[in-house]
Amino acid sequence: MSKKIVALGASNSKKSINKQLANYAANQVTNVEVTLLDLNDYEMPIYSIDKENETGIPELAHQFKAQLKAADGIIISFAEHNGAYSTAFKNIFDWISRIDKDTWESKPMFLLATSPGGRGGMTVLDIAVNKFKFMNQSTIANFSLPSFQQNFSTEKGITDGDLQTAFKEQLAIFAAAI
């Protein structure tokens, strides 16, 4: 039986470069079944305790959580909005964190970020790595791809040799853990 990976770009952009990177990363792991999630399929009311008390946790949050539960590994590539998570991702994160304490199901994770700029979403990636390591005791590999348009091709993937080497090192850590 092959392993299952859930991958997503933590953005609601229909042309998300982070979704492209997450999909690329997931498809570099051999002998796995990949499910690519689109945050637009999980649009819910903005989380608040009042909303939760009034109407409960939305079914879409349970569906998203079920995808995580069914996976052997999780890949997330973060879009950086004003130095932090996108609102679309943060809202889903908030809702699924209310379902049970183990938000990420103790699954190995490969956290990524990219952006058009030279820092490659490092600020949001640092936030995610530092937050998730306290929420998930499993392996968390991470990689940032700077200057997406210069360093990534849909045909070839990561085109810079040094970045490709760094990516493969982190991918190997993740793949070994699933």
Q: What's the pLDDT tens digit per position in 6-17?
A: 999 999 999 999
The arithmetic mean of pLDDT across residues 61-71, rounded, is 98
User: pTM for the complete prediction?
Assistant: 0.96
Query: Mind listing the pLDDT tens digit for each residue in 107-148?
Result: 999 999 999 999 999 999 999 999 999 889 899 999 999 999
* pLDDT for the residue numbered 13: 95
- Mind giving me the DSSP string for 96-138? HTTT-S-TTTT--EEEEEE-SSTTTTHHHHHHHHHHHHHH--S
Q: Are 125 and 144 in contact (CB under 8 A)?
A: yes
Which residues partner with 145 through β-bridges? 114
Q: How far is 96 from 92, CA to CA, in rounded Å?
A: 6
Comparing C-alpha atoms, which of 22, 32, 98 is closest to residue 65? 98
Per-residue pLDDT for 47 more than 80? yes
Q: To the nearest whole percent, how much of the chain has pLDDT over 90?
A: 95
CATH code of the domain containing 7: 3.40.50.360
Per-residue pLDDT for 1 more than 80? no
- Number of domains observed in the structure of the chain: 1
Domain that residue 99 falls in:
3-177
Q: Are 21 and 36 in contact (CB under 8 A)?
A: no
| Residues in CB range of 70: below 8 A, 6 or more apart | 4, 6
Task: Report the chain's mean pLDDT, rounded to a whole number.
Answer: 96
In the chain, the amino acid numbered 168 is K
* pLDDT for the residue numbered 137: 87
Q: How far is 159 from 148, CA to CA, in rounded Å?
A: 10
